[in-house]
Amino acid sequence: MSQLSSVEILGGGPAGLYTAILLRRAMPHLRLRVTEQNPKGATFGFGVVFSDQALDFLKADDPETHDLITPAMERWRNMTLNLPGGQAVLDGVGFSAIGRLELIEVLRKRAEALGVEIRFSHLIESLDEVQADLIIGADGLNSLVRRSNQADFAPTIEHFSNHFAWFGTERPFDTLTQTFVKMQRGAFNAHHYRYQPDRSTFIVECDDATFQAYGFAAMDEAESARACESIFADLLDGAPLITNKSTWRQFPRLWCENWVVGRHLLLGDAAHTAHFSIGSGTRLAMEDAIALVRALSSHDDVEQALAAYQAERQPIARKIVDAANTSATWYENFAAKMDLSPVDFGLDYLMRSGRVDTDRLRRMAPGFMARYDAEKGGGNIADPVGHDNAGAAEVGFRREDHPNCSSILWDNLFRNPDKLALIGPAGSLTYAELVTEAARWGNAFIAAGLKRGDRIPFFLDDTPVYPAAFFGAVRAGFVPVLLNTQTTADVLNFFLQDTGAKIALCEAALARRFEGEALHGTTLERVVIVNGAADGEGRIAAADFLAGQPDTLDCADTGPEDMAFWMYSSGSTGRPKGIVHLHHDMAYTQTSFGKHALKLAEDDICFSVPKIFFAYGFGNALTFPFSIGATTLLMPGQPRPDAVLDMIEKYRPTVLFGLPTLYTALARTENVGTRDLSSLRQSMSAAEILSQDIYDAWKSLTGHGPTEGLGSTELLHIYLSNSLSDHRIGSAGARVPGYEIRLETPDGRVPEPGEEGVMFVRGDSSAPSYWNRSDKTKETMRGDWIYTGDRFIEVDGYYYFQGRADELIKVSGQWVWPLEVERCLNEHPDVHECAVMAHQLEDRRMTLRAVIRLREGRAATDVQSDALRAYVKTRLQPYKYPRIVDYVADLPKTGTGKIDRQALAAMPVRQDAAIGL
């Protein structure tokens, strides 16, 4: 017990009064005083809510207070969202409400009954007024205690952009409700709930533009109340809004680095704030009080006690504050979300923290999710592409023949068990050996207690483990999730949460990435470490995981339309999306692209430089060779040009798969002409446009240019391709049999000849949806067509990429497509590689910015820039020249090897880089 004899508490809000009660009980001898500036029985605001969870905490820590306040509470199990398009009822979102004044009165009476001195109507203006062993700042957002020692408490305070005003009304509402309305000058949200039988809280919120448009800044409380009454007239049904210090405010986002400075300490709103939408500010204040008094009771030394209070309490409070901040951020964009259907809006709301997935929601809010599933076509994923689609008929594909994609590997057991399935520096396996390995993996996943459909993140490099674990998992009915190993910790954390995975596979060399932030808040129980030893809790080496597992595996009774595996979009714009693929999708890519464009032979050795975790690499390295019993060469590690050339010489692959960046790098490698590339009979390229330059360079080395195609992860592989016999440079290719292509102009027409349109693709390998992202699913999966967002012109059945649908920019009043300029500059002999992007000037005009890596020996001078501009002017319409020309030693690349345009856009423009602006 701390050796304290006197304590002064500033503030008679929940934090101050509750601290006084707990302190008085724990240390009856203490001289204790609470000072509150307001008179007895007066405070700001109306009702406050406690989430069910918050009440559970209180019950566990202080049943007495819990039992005192709960009888005065209004309670609901559901929340209702009212939208212009209908209602969404969210079950399982339990809340209880109590008048703020009522709560304070309960606490005051209890404190007084315990003999605490409470001084009302007294504003403490300086800390010199109070002398005690300990001074507690429970004095709210504008805390005098904090202000008196700003430097040491180190607060950060910012404000959310929305404005809100806290009113009350005598109209009682049935449930905790949020009503969203769209008015001519902007959108509003009201959070309203009954907190006593005849009284409700009514908080009105809007964004800054709406706030300005309505001129609320110039209105007094009464005028604001009248304006809000008319905005919510239907809801209020004639009931007036009552004011009580109801001025418009922006919610503060306050956090203090230190809560204790000497004998001064902070708790509650003085130390941190939590947005009202998660109903936690009062709870946090009361829990701070519990933590403080617990620390003081369990330490003799006051300093140690105070240090323990801060150390124990801060991390817990931080979590709730973070959740409140995330929630508040969601509200900053509510207007844009109001066009969603009520169920989509409801789902978006429930998932706003980013920490719950639909599986968890099915447990938390079963009623809402049942409605969601019913409206969205069932809880199971349904393939929108019908059995009788034209593409499948064209290539003779029968979906029902492909109930489980593991047959792509397993069929080889009968066809050619002793043939080498894979070769490479990490080892070789015959088909029989690979099937055995896969069976052991599948059995080990079953033995680990996974359930059908459970996701297994793969954080793996290209070694024999990849296909073994992949095919074992899908055969046993589990869902591998192929993760990019260049993922940062925060994104990896998102993947682990989004997948809800219990077990993940991780390359030993990457094991450190599965620590700390990456694991925070996930359900991961075990990480299986492959290709190396495992150390640390929750980790197991693959050898131990597989030990004793049988080497045969029955196929789970999956169907062609069951979920088989996922890949994530690269997330270059926004959060990555989990792209869900079904069991028949792999076979479809083989029946379409594999058979009709790639045309492998059984004695081919495929070498995909892009890794298996990319959809392109996945098809190249696994689907196509295994479908026909050919061999795949797997190369782990960085695909540096020299290493790739070494692999070609050593393993003699016949078909090489790469991207234009790879072919550029290989063709420019020193002494490449002396390397033995004679094994290659065919080379494939995808993802980016191949220039004549690269095509010719590769052809001069191997006798053939790379065959260019275009695909997407949503379609799993390539749907437009050139062919060896008919290659049109600059074109992504012609339609691959099995896929239907449709171009559409912005006004929904079929384009005239030579006119561009946005491409839609239909084929039976398409992903039916993004995991947990109904909004994004709706944007991309349009019925049974995939909206690619790419603009094309079609000439004689060949498609020429014109840019992204959202990329066209207006420069000097004329439309320019940056990629066209980029391609032109790439042809310049001094340019090694470049990116051309839209750039917004300070005065908001748009212009073109080229970022260039020059060839060796060329200097980044003004003369060089002028030459490049002149080059564009002579080849394209003159107004398309880049006004800004910047130089870099190397262009940043994304994990998929594409130019990282976001990183480039973030780079400051070089001084003197611009002319003519």
Q: Which residues bind ligand FAD (CB under 6 A)?
A: 10-16, 35-38, 43, 48-49, 123-124, 138-140, 144, 166, 203, 268-270, 276, 279-283, 285
- Minimum distance, C-beta of residue 759 to ligand FAD, in the bound complex (Å): 49
Report helix, strand or coil for 330. Answer: helix
| Residue placing its CB nearer to ligand FAD in the complex, 283 or 717 | 283
| Residue placing its CB nearer to ligand FAD in the complex, 15 or 634 | 15
**In b/e form, how buried is each residue of 556-571, taking b as 16+ CB within 10 angstroms?**
bebebbbbbbbbbbbe
| Residue placing its CB nearer to ligand FAD in the complex, 172 or 417 | 172
Q: Are 144 and 137 in contact (CB under 8 A)?
A: yes
**C-alpha gyration radius of the chain:** 32
- Minimum distance, C-beta of residue 283 to ligand FAD, in the bound complex (Å): 5
Angstrom CA distances, 332 to 205, 574, 800, stand at 9, 17, 40
| Residue placing its CB nearer to ligand FAD in the complex, 276 or 770 | 276
| Residue placing its CB nearer to ligand FAD in the complex, 163 or 299 | 163
Cα separation, 756 vs 744, in Å, equals 8
Angstrom CA distances, 244 to 13, 73, 221, 225, 891, stand at 16, 21, 9, 11, 58
| Residue placing its CB nearer to ligand FAD in the complex, 331 or 657 | 331
Q: If you search the block for the tokens 């009822």, which residue do you land on?
A: 89
- Minimum distance, C-beta of residue 438 to ligand FAD, in the bound complex (Å): 53
Contacts of the segment 827-833: beta carbons below 8 A, 24+ positions apart: 827/691, 827/692, 827/693, 827/875, 828/868, 828/871, 829/855, 830/854, 830/855, 830/858, 830/864, 830/867, 830/868, 831/855, 831/868, 832/668, 832/856, 833/661, 833/664, 833/891, 833/899
- Minimum distance, C-beta of residue 284 to ligand FAD, in the bound complex (Å): 7
Angle between helices 862-875 and 818-826 (to 10 degrees): 110
- Minimum distance, C-beta of residue 440 to ligand FAD, in the bound complex (Å): 53
Report helix, strand or coil for 823. Answer: helix
Angstrom CA distances, 538 to 496, 497, 508, 560, 623, stand at 15, 17, 14, 34, 33
CA neighbor of 638 nearest in space, from 804, 462, 800, 496: 462
Token code pair at residue 214: 């309505």
| Residue placing its CB nearer to ligand FAD in the complex, 119 or 650 | 119
| Residue placing its CB nearer to ligand FAD in the complex, 330 or 800 | 330
| Residue placing its CB nearer to ligand FAD in the complex, 144 or 834 | 144
**In b/e form, how buried is each residue of 770-797, taking b as 16+ CB within 10 angstroms?**
bbbbbebbbebbeebbbbbbbbbbbeee
Q: Are 838 and 831 in contact (CB under 8 A)?
A: no
- Minimum distance, C-beta of residue 73 to ligand FAD, in the bound complex (Å): 12
Q: Are 653 and 442 in contact (CB under 8 A)?
A: no
Q: List the Cα angle 169/175/176 in 5-degree steps.
A: 75
- Minimum distance, C-beta of residue 76 to ligand FAD, in the bound complex (Å): 13
Q: Are 904 and 853 in contact (CB under 8 A)?
A: no
- Minimum distance, C-beta of residue 144 to ligand FAD, in the bound complex (Å): 4
Q: Are 356 and 523 in contact (CB under 8 A)?
A: no
- Minimum distance, C-beta of residue 353 to ligand FAD, in the bound complex (Å): 17
| Residue placing its CB nearer to ligand FAD in the complex, 14 or 610 | 14
Token code pair at residue 543: 């050898």
Token code pair at residue 39: 């008179």
- Minimum distance, C-beta of residue 350 to ligand FAD, in the bound complex (Å): 18
- Minimum distance, C-beta of residue 279 to ligand FAD, in the bound complex (Å): 4
Q: Is 451 exposed, middle or buried (0-12, 13-18, 19+ CB in 10 A)?
A: exposed
| Residue placing its CB nearer to ligand FAD in the complex, 147 or 575 | 147
| Residue placing its CB nearer to ligand FAD in the complex, 276 or 514 | 276
| Residue placing its CB nearer to ligand FAD in the complex, 35 or 722 | 35
The β-bridge relationship of strands 420-423 and 455-459 is unpaired
- How would you list the strands of the sheet with 176-183, edge to edge? 47-51, 86-99, 74-83, 176-183, 186-196, 199-206, 163-169, 241-242
- Minimum distance, C-beta of residue 359 to ligand FAD, in the bound complex (Å): 29
| Residue placing its CB nearer to ligand FAD in the complex, 271 or 694 | 271
- Minimum distance, C-beta of residue 21 to ligand FAD, in the bound complex (Å): 13
What pairs with residue 846 in β-bridges? 840
Cα separation, 81 vs 87, in Å, equals 6
- Minimum distance, C-beta of residue 77 to ligand FAD, in the bound complex (Å): 17
Cα separation, 474 vs 450, in Å, equals 12
| Residue placing its CB nearer to ligand FAD in the complex, 138 or 492 | 138
Q: Are 27 and 4 in contact (CB under 8 A)?
A: yes
- Minimum distance, C-beta of residue 52 to ligand FAD, in the bound complex (Å): 13
- Minimum distance, C-beta of residue 209 to ligand FAD, in the bound complex (Å): 21
Residue 622 neighbours by CB under 8 Å, 6+ apart: 408, 466, 467, 470, 612, 632
Token code pair at residue 10: 């500033």
| Residue placing its CB nearer to ligand FAD in the complex, 160 or 372 | 160
Chain centroid to Cα 759, Å, comes to 26
CA neighbor of 839 nearest in space, from 886, 878, 877, 871: 886
- Strands (E) across 622-671 are located at 631-633, 655-658
- Minimum distance, C-beta of residue 122 to ligand FAD, in the bound complex (Å): 6
| Residue placing its CB nearer to ligand FAD in the complex, 246 or 389 | 246
Cα separation, 627 vs 651, in Å, equals 21
| Residue placing its CB nearer to ligand FAD in the complex, 203 or 482 | 203
- Minimum distance, C-beta of residue 528 to ligand FAD, in the bound complex (Å): 43
Cα distance between the two ends of the chain: 72
